[in-house]
Amino acid sequence: MRPLLAPIALAVLLTGCAAQDASAADASTPARTITVSGEGTASAVPDMTVINVGVQSDALTAADALRANSSNMSATIKKLKELGIADRDIQTSGLSLNPRYNYEKNRSQPEVIGFTASNNVTVRLRDLSKAGSVIDQAVQSGANSLNGISFSFDEPKPLYEKARRNAVADAKAKAELLTDAAGVRLGRLITIQDGYSQAPSPKMYGARMEMAADSAVPMEAGESSVSATISMIYEIE
């Protein structure tokens, strides 16, 4: 029976080599994958308003323009604080002093005919019901420009979390649809990557306001939305 040992050993060796070759072939074959992106949004009634009000002052000299501007802006800020707006919610966001030119006589060397001083403050209002009244009072105190207004959230994190969950669900649904249409099976999730998150965009106004108003400016907050994107890679079985 001893002569039979050599063929049996050889068979075992060949089987082992074949298994190793198959494993090597599987390792060298790249996994089939599908990459999908998902988008999600979440909406809610905003609980905070951000406005940008300013003062523009014209005068023949730079000193007079700046002096008049400072006086009106000081009165505006004082009024904002009297209305209960905290110091941390009032921030200077722009200050400039520029000459004004007359180009009619000589366009290459225009004549300086005066100066314009401008000062803007960004104000966060945590009580939306006061927004119209605050704008009205600011105008009556000296502000004469409204440069932007937006509605946002004091604590937006829960809304962003909801938007991301919706984005993940959207990406997964796309992956399931595409693999089903292609006649293949969706495998395990390999990677997931958070994309961009977008806050509500401010509504911008550039018109100069009158120096007085008869009543509070009507304001409607409506709903605001945030959005998020997600990128996911799945294996294809």
Please, what is the average pLDDT of the chain? 83
Instruction: Show me where the domains of the chain are located.
Output: 1-30, 48-151+203-223
- Intra-chain end-to-end CA distance of the chain, in Å: 48
169-176 average pLDDT score = 97
131-145 average pLDDT score = 90
As a whole number of Å, the CA-based R_g of the chain is: 33
**CATH number at 48-151+203-223:** 3.30.70.2970
This prediction's pTM: 0.63
CA distance 46 to 103: 47
pLDDT digits (tens, 9 = 90+) for 33-54: 999 999 999 999 888 899 999 9
